């Protein structure tokens, strides 16, 4: 067994707590569904947001998921590169798995599908 990184990103329309938490929860649920793992398999989750999102901590939505209470979570802001995608939430999960790198299914939802079109299929995941 080794550790694999699973990427995900999504966007929100407004800097509102409800939108941030809902979008983060939807993204996490899709990543879990696409990659079939349990919270106990996760070493840690890094969550970043663009500087225009500060209404709430996205990690709060992950912590609220059943069984995720003990998973280490860290929130940070993205580098504010001019012209970058606004109102974006990104996740990097480090997961203990036997799955090969070519079998990991990264998930990009909303406007975030623009970030990695090479990894995005219809429905937002690879």
Query: What is d(CA 45, CA 34) in angstroms, rounded to the nearest whole number?
Result: 17
Annotated binding-site residue numbers: 7, 90
Mean pLDDT of 47-61: 98
Query: What is d(CA 85, CA 12) in angstroms, rounded to the nearest whole number?
Result: 11
| pLDDT of res. 45 | 98
Mean pLDDT rounded to a whole number for the chain:
93
| pLDDT of res. 1 | 80
Q: What is the CATH number of domain 2-117?
A: 3.30.1330.40
pLDDT one-digit tens code per residue, 84-124: 999 999 999 999 999 999 999 999 999 999 898 887 654 44
The model's pTM is 0.92
| pLDDT of res. 118 | 82
Residue 58 has pLDDT above 60, yes or no: yes
CA distances from 43 to 3, 58, 81, 85, 105 (A): 8, 18, 29, 28, 17
Residue 13 DSSP class: S
Annotated binding-site residue numbers for prephenate: 7, 90
């Amino acid at each position: 067994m080794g550790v694999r990184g699973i990427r995900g990103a999504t966007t929100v329309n407004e800097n509102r707590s409800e939108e941030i938490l809902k979008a983060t929860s939807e993204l996490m649920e899709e990543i879990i569904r696409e990659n079939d793992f349990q919270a106990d398999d996760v070493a840690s989750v890094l969550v970043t947001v663009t500087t225009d999102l500060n209404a709430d901590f996205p990690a709060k939505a992950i912590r609220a998921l059943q069984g995720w209470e003990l998973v280490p979570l860290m929130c940070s802001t993205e580098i504010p590169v001019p012209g970058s995608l606004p109102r974006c939430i990104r996740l990097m999960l480090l997961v203990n798995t036997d799955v090969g790198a070519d079998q990991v299914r990264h998930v990009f939802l909303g406007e975030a599908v623009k970030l990695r079109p090479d990894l995005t299929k219809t429905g937002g995941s690879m």
